[in-house]
Chains A and B, each alone.
Chain A
Amino acid sequence: MSLAADERSERAPWALTAPALILFVGVLLIPLAMTVMLSFHDWGQYKGIEPVFILKNWKEIATDPYYAEMFWRTFRIAILTTLLTALLGAPEAYILNRMSGRWKSFFLLVILGPLLISVVARTLGWALLFGGNNGLVNKLLMSLGAIRSPIPFMFTETGMVVALAHVMMPFMVLSVWAALQRLDPQIENAAMSLGAGPITIIRRIIMPQIMPGVLSGAIIVFSLSASAFATPAIIGGRRLKVAATLAYDEFLNTLNWPLGAAVATLLLVALVLIVVGSNALIERRYAEVFR
């Protein structure tokens, strides 16, 4: 009797999680495994995909400097975007946190704005503002005589970083904001009463405590930027490919699915390693603040 009950209670968790588990395996694990397998298949212009096991695609990625340059660009853009959001987002969150009620909710909406607009519409907006000679900002600056030739924005890494930082900003601000909420409201007064000036308070008291928030925001921003597709596709176009746009082109233009799969797999593995590694590092370094 009790044995049967034990058996049932042992089975219950499995039965209860089964629907989610099946969905997870069906839509994530199986396609992922198939993509990894696909990266080991052969492909030819005329023969199409051949389900054999060869290392041709991986060898090509490892030896052709084109891929090294492209991956290096992907991570350079992601790192610069992360730095930019951290440098602007952390002070932004701090200022926002000190605002009074009504202004706070208004500016929070402004910061969350980019998330409410379609990524394509927003990026095209950037293109309208800065794109070539006809971009609004360039036109204005040139007619004012501030600059003589238009500031290059389209098809530049700078343009990609700026546009990406804009859309990634809410993730950083919200992450730092969450860390700021954990601060003792009297902590700045405590430091002040001990003789600390405003700069010392920020540097010695506030910064160390919101650093975990900045770093977890950085992980989100970095992984989203490194795998971003729409912004690099519109601003970078064909000239400045990143890992995501390259994989897309291999799949849909060249129709070399195995090579595209190898690029996608490499991006995934690299991202997982970086994120898991830095997360472990952060948790060890800031153990006392996280408790």
Chain B
Amino acid sequence: MAFLELDRVAKQFGAQTVVDDFSLAVRRGEFISFLGPSGCGKTTTLQMIAGFLDPTRGAIRLEDKDLTAIHPAKRGLGIVFQSYALFPHMTAAENVAFGLEMRNVPRADKAERVRAALAMVGLAGYEDRHPRRMSGGQQQRVALARALVIKPSVLLLDEPLSNLDAKLREEMQIELRQIQRTIGTTTILVTHDQNEAMSLSDRIVVMSQGKIEQIGTPQETYEKPASAFVSQFLGKTNDFAGTIDRTTAPAQLVAGSWRAPAPAGLSGPVIVSIRPERIGFGDAGLSAKIITRIFQGNHWLFQCDSECGPAIVIRQNDGTAQPREGDAVRLTWRPEDMSVRARAGA
């Protein structure tokens, strides 16, 4: 069943609750991301799993054993730190070998495993380099090899890619995913980068202010956001104020001059959320004016001023003519592409 289980875990520093009521069941071999803005408690949760912090309440279980009762040095988890925390006085090979030495692995076996681990992260031939003579990306790989060589039951990654430049980060994402798939280690990644979380994970845990907002696959969290926070945090989104009018038959959802059959349940003032790439230009719909048009290679980004406030539209660059700045347009979308929620205080 659940390989790693967090059961209503909470952490308080003094009167401040940093993590609250955190429950999660991780399956063996799964890649999970904790995603949220800084200060949302994602790193604190990771540190509780690692054992550097003790939870105030709740239980953490690994294969049904209470993990909090085990000293961090005995948990056998692999951790890659944001700063890498390599040992600067040791060579790459010595860094990787450290965990094996602590486990009294025989010399020949140790040398072979160090060599294999460094080869796996693409650093064969760098055994005798010191960390300070390596680039950020190489240091990152050494840190990964050092964490993986001990065959950890769970691999914990604390924003491991945030110190790399954009191109290198993308390469490392792909590589990280491949390595994780190959060796099948259960992995938890802490990140504030939604693209990273979406491209790497099987499931994403979106967090805000110490609480879980949503747990789901990347596609679920993007397309069916459980809250306004999730839809805002994962990619761009348009929020339009609308009204559900149940006095007409059939009932109608109205946002400016856009209207559609009302979904069941709600009534009165609502918020209509649509992803920018799901909005098209049509003959009827929300009337808007194009303020800026930005060409981004494979797509166009339009910033519009609509009757329901500012709107963003993304259109694929498929060769068709696109409206220009200052053009009056009508924004339209399919009802199944939007999500509707009640509008508070209106």
Q: Which residues of A contact B (CB under 8 A)?
A: 184-187, 189-197, 200, 204-205, 208-209, 286, 288-289, 291
Which of the segments B28-36, B85-93, B109-117, B250-258 contacts the partner chain? B85-93
Q: In the assembly, what is the distance between CA of A31 and CA of B78, in Å?
A: 63
Q: In the assembly, what is the distance between CA of A286 and CA of B89, in Å?
A: 8
Which A residues are CB-close (under 8 A) to B75?
Answer: 193
Among B73, B86, B130, which residue has its beta carbon within 8 angstroms of that of A193? B73
Q: Is the CB of B50 within 8 A of A189?
A: yes
Q: In the assembly, what is the distance between CA of A205 and CA of B86, in Å?
A: 10
> How far, in Å, is B94 (CB) from chain A's closest CB?
10
Among A189, A204, A208, which residue has its beta carbon within 8 angstroms of that of B81? A189
The contact size tier of chain B is 20 to 34
**Which one of B79, B103, B150 has the greatest number of beta carbons of chain A within 10 Å?**
B79
Q: In the assembly, what is the distance between CA of A271 and CA of B99, in Å?
A: 43
Decide yes or no: A288 and B73 within 8 Å by CB, A186-B81, A191-B98 being known contacts: no
Q: Is the CB of A195 within 8 A of B103?
A: yes
Q: Is the CB of A189 within 8 A of B89?
A: no
Decide yes or no: A196 and B102 within 8 Å by CB, A205-B87, A288-B130, A291-B132 being known contacts: yes
**CB 8 Å contact bits of B57-78 with A (1 = contact, 0 = none):** 0000000000000001111111
Q: Is the CB of A288 within 8 A of B102?
A: no
Per DSSP, are chain B's interface residues mostly helix, strand or loop, or mixed?
Answer: loop
Which A residues are CB-close (under 8 A) to B99?
Answer: 194-195
> How far, in Å, is B89 (CB) from chain A's closest CB?
4
Decide yes or no: A189 and B52 within 8 Å by CB, A196-B73, A197-B73, A289-B89 being known contacts: yes
Q: Is the CB of B102 within 8 A of A194?
A: yes
Q: Is the CB of B78 within 8 A of A193?
A: yes
Decide yes or no: A190 and B132 within 8 Å by CB, A195-B150, A209-B89, A288-B89 being known contacts: no
**CB 8 Å contact bits of B23-53 with A (1 = contact, 0 = none):** 0000000000000000000000000001010
**Smallest CB-CB separation from A201: which chain B residue?**
B73
Q: Is the CB of A196 within 8 A of B98?
A: yes
Q: In the assembly, what is the distance between CA of A174 and CA of B50, in Å?
A: 33
Q: Is the CB of B50 within 8 A of A193?
A: yes
Decide yes or no: A288 and B88 within 8 Å by CB, A189-B52, A194-B99, A200-B102 being known contacts: yes
**Smallest CB-CB separation from B130: which chain A residue?**
A288
Q: Please tell me if B275 contacts chain A, counting CB pairs below 8 Å.
A: no
Q: Is the CB of A194 within 8 A of B89?
A: no
> How far, in Å, is B141 (CB) from chain A's closest CB?
15
Which B residues are CB-close (under 8 A) to A208?
Answer: 89
**Smallest CB-CB separation from A212: which chain B residue?**
B89
8 pairs, CB–CB < 8 Å, chain A vs chain B: A189-B85, A193-B147, A196-B98, A204-B98, A209-B89, A288-B89, A289-B88, A291-B133
Q: In the assembly, what is the distance between CA of A192 and CA of B74, in Å?
A: 9
Q: In the assembly, what is the distance between CA of A286 and CA of B130, in Å?
A: 12
Decide yes or no: A187 and B73 within 8 Å by CB, A194-B102, A194-B146 being known contacts: no
Q: Is the CB of B89 within 8 A of A193?
A: no
Q: Is the CB of B103 within 8 A of A190?
A: no
